[in-house]
Amino acid sequence: MSIAALPRAKLYLRPTAFIDAPFGYEGQFHRLAGGLCFFSAYEVIAVDGGKRIGQWLVPVSDIDAALVGHADAQEALVRLTAARAPLHLGERVIRLDQPHVMGILNMTPDSFSDGGKYVDDAVAAASAGVEMSAQGAALIDVGGESTRPGAAAVWAQDEIARTAPVIERLTRAGTAVSIDTRQAEVMAVARAAGAQMINDVSALLHDTASLALVAEAGCPVVLMHAPDSQHTLHGDGMATDDPLLAVYDWLDARIAAVVAGGVAREKIIIDPGIGFGKKLSENMALINGLALFHSLGCPILLGASRKRIIGALSNEAPVEQRLGGSVALALAGAQAGAQLLRVHDVPETVQALRVWRGLRDAALTPRA
């Protein structure tokens, strides 16, 4: 069966067959999202009635002909290769033609990895954030609520008390800051304190006031997938046997709703939500298929640092022994073109990315 024989099928495009450099391959490669990754083929996945009915490897040179009659796939192709707009975070401009590190700063007593480390000590927390920035983090993500399974809900005023003093100190020091929250009241105070970006693990679904707030602010926002975004985030898990396409469709619909609510598409960043209500096999499917999400036309944030997937693949290594796995997943994200990597271990991840970037630069230096 060919793609042409399936005019009513929905097509998904995943870049594959990556190459080191485009030299000498005119007409045989595409550039991924205007970044440092180049590829020579697409995996085209056809879905009808909610089920995969076919998949093909299509060389870049043949992709336009293969998509004739599939307007949505043609639009996805344009989005997939288009350069991403830079993030304007106060005086900082973060170009998204390469991967950047987002440092995690938890102001919580109960986060799964480093909860309690800086609770009630805004000065020490801000100092740690500034140090992460000096170590190479492009921005710092400050959060005051644990999102681990079973974590208790946090009153907005408590979340504000934990995060606002830290954000004020970080922004005074010239550090770019994101606020990690799903409560509109916390978003508003954090913005007033200097936060330039909002990272909402509920994709603006938990708090009915958050969408209008973000639209009015005009700031970048991260929309993350979770099976139960309005409530516990993790819910009862994902009821699907195709998690990659299910998460893609969910994010696609959520982007459309947020744009309809007044947020510019170029301000939206997407996160597949590794570890949120997902089994090991589902997390691995998302990471292996990560390049698919570029078809949505938004920058990708990957947050896999120290998560359960690493312990499950390494003899149940505890959280504090998951550095190697965290770096491995960050590099997998970079290889798939992810623009933002949210991590606990900043200097180690930055070093890994510098080596990765050095290899890319060497490959992209034309031979004499």
Q: Which sequence positions are flagged as catalytic?
A: 307, 342
Give Cα separations from 43 to 53, 80, 105, 291, 292 (angstroms). Answer: 13, 13, 37, 10, 9
Q: Strand 38-48 and strand 10-19: pairing?
A: antiparallel
How many Å apart are CA 33 and CA 28, to the nearest integer?
16
How many Å apart are CA 25 and CA 156, to the nearest integer?
55
**Cβ neighbours of residue 144 under 8 Å, at least 6 residues apart?**
107, 108, 154, 158, 159, 160, 161, 162, 163, 180, 181, 186
Strand partners, 131: none
Of the candidates 232, 178, 177, 172, the one whose C-alpha atom is nearest the C-alpha of residue 202 is 232
**Cβ neighbours of residue 81 under 8 Å, at least 6 residues apart?**
30, 31, 32, 33, 34
Of the candidates 76, 101, 78, 98, the one whose C-alpha atom is nearest the C-alpha of residue 86 is 98
How many Å apart are CA 40 and CA 30, to the nearest integer?
6
Tell me which residue has tokens 């208790």.
152
Q: Are 327 and 352 in contact (CB under 8 A)?
A: yes
**Token digits for 74?**
């043609």
Q: Are 169 and 208 in contact (CB under 8 A)?
A: no
Coil, strand or helix at 38: strand
**Token digits for 338?**
């992810």
